[in-house]
Amino acid sequence: MAENSSSSPSVSQRPTPTPTAITDLEIDALAHCASFLSLQDVSNMAMTCRFLRAVAYSDQIWQRLFRERWPTLGQLESSQKLLGSREAYLARLSNLLQFKFNDPIMIDYYFGPKPIDHVLLDKNNIIFSQGSTIQMVKTFDARRASTVTYNDHKARITCMRLFPLNETSLFRSDMQARENVLVTSSCDRSIRLWWKGQCQRCFRGHNGPVCSLSDGLLGDAGGKLLASGGEDGTVRLWSLSSSGKRGQQALKSTLFGHEKPVKLLSVPRYKSSLLVSISKDSKVRVWDTIVSASARSSSCVGMATVPGEAVSVRSHESLIYVAAGSSLVAIDLRTMKRVFTAMTHHPKVYSFEILPSKSLVCIGGLDRAMLWDIRRSQQTMKPESISDLVGNVGPVTLLHMDPYKIVTGGPEDPFVHVWEAETGKKTNMLMCCLPEGSSSIAGCSALAINGCQIVVASCTNSQGNLHYRDFTNAADPALPLDDEDDFKFWNLPSCGSGFDCEEEDDDDDNDNDDY
């Protein structure tokens, strides 16, 4: 026993094993393991270190992602393989998001002759209003398209917004995390919150029509507030955490100070308690909604005036951008001083959008839109646009802008124009379908875009039309638009009444969520 124990090595004499890190593995082996990850997980891995980024960029991973996202296309073409699988994936996705194809899924819907005033895209649902009526069209199955009508409002709807469900009292579980609620305002003095096909809350308090709703919610996670502006010149704050179908005790504060109807409301992101309101007489007020509003104007922390009637407002960090009259004005909320004014040399500005990540602003004028670089304009005494997007007809009242594209339209233009966001190069012209036998040309009355999806509303004397297009699985590239006379467009055959779909819908209805 003693002899055996003396011959066995002690614990302290055993060799210490060499630690093994993930970077010690071969790249091919790691790439094989990573090929089972989701696109989001691959993106997260690429941001950890240089070694894992090289793994995440492997062709093996991106070939699998390409096949899963676009199974009908099969393998990469030889020209695409020369780029690399990841570059080919991103190039195709960019082209899809810029609508550079001729063969999207196409569905047209025809309704009554009332104009379509507002339209939203919520995943596979198209939500729009005609007068006092709200309708929701489900597009997940083109062969069995259905519509739901809501008639609770008694007068024309003035504004429609979508907000996350988890910021309201209706949220119950994490399974609902990606769902939205619809909030609408109306000339019947009410604000309604919709979910699961019915009105869940009704807020009343304005002494006249409700003109506007805030573009975001105020406050922190403990209790979100919705702001509304009325014809009575007041701004009212409503709690979305209040219970009860009638929204009892939902009105948290009334802000006085405007003398004219409140047309626009915006929530700056850099401070969640601030609210910007603009009235019809071009007066701008900034409110701190944490401060008590028991006294008149007690929570107003800043005032300014813009030149002309304001048509749109956007906020980024401590700046607000207001399109008014014939110019675009940027105001610093910390000092309430103008820091930037862009003159458009047009009689009137009809619309505008901002892309803060690229410091770009697009302004809709008459017969054209103008693209501005904010940083470059701030360095010159006379700011000028970097690109004129020419080709529109009449006022450009509808304008969408995202990191990939700019989309413009208007009530006198039968086309929707698509441009690259960074270069201003036109990528497509999309023509709306007209009813058979119609003698009038319908322009665009409303527009909504969500990734590769676009829906355009138009109206003739006989009916209102919705034209839905989904480019998610398009495969036929459009020809480059070298001039205005050489273009591809939606030249649709005449359609019958009711729902008419021309191609089968896409099975993957959530592709746009992960780009």
Question: In the prediction, which pLDDT does 293 show?
Answer: 43
Do the beta carbons of residue 193 and residue 201 sit within 8 Å?
yes
Question: In the prediction, which pLDDT does 483 show?
Answer: 47
In whole angstroms, what is the distance from residue 412 CA to residue 397 CA?
A: 10
Question: In the prediction, which pLDDT does 272 show?
Answer: 83
pTM: 0.83
Question: In the prediction, which pLDDT does 502 show?
Answer: 36
E strand segments, 333-452:
337-343, 351-355, 360-364, 366-373, 387-395, 398-401, 405-409, 415-420, 426-431, 446-450
User: In the chain, helix, strand, coil percent, each to 5?
Assistant: 15, 40, 45
Residue numbers of the chain with a pLDDT score lower than 50: 1-2, 293-297, 435-437, 483-515
Look up residue 144 and give its DSSP letter.
G
- Sequence-distant (6+) residues with CB within 8 A of 203 are 190, 191, 192, 193, 228, 238, 247, 250, 251
DSSP assignment string, 206-260 = -SS-EEEE-SS-BS-TT--EEEEEETTS-EEEEETT--STT-TT-EEEEE---SS
Question: In the prediction, which pLDDT does 169 show?
Answer: 78
Count of other CB atoms within 10 angstroms of residue 326: 17
Task: Give Dmax (Cα) for the chain.
Answer: 110
User: Quick one: angle between helices 59-69 and 39-46, nearest 10?
Assistant: 150
Do the beta carbons of residue 211 and residue 280 sit within 8 Å?
no
Nearest to 239 by CA among 174, 193, 288, 278: 193
Question: In the prediction, which pLDDT does 166 show?
Answer: 85
Count of other CB atoms within 10 angstroms of residue 327: 19
In whole angstroms, what is the distance from residue 374 CA to residue 291 CA?
A: 33
In this structure, what is the dihedral angle of CA atoms 484, 410, 110, 439, given to the nearest 10 degrees? Answer: -70
Element (H, E) at 439: none
Residue in the structure block whose two tokens are 């899924």? 105
Nearest to 149 by CA among 138, 139, 160, 135: 135
Q: How many residues in the chain?
A: 515
- Sequence-distant (6+) residues with CB within 8 A of 458 are 116, 432, 442, 443, 444, 445, 464, 465, 467
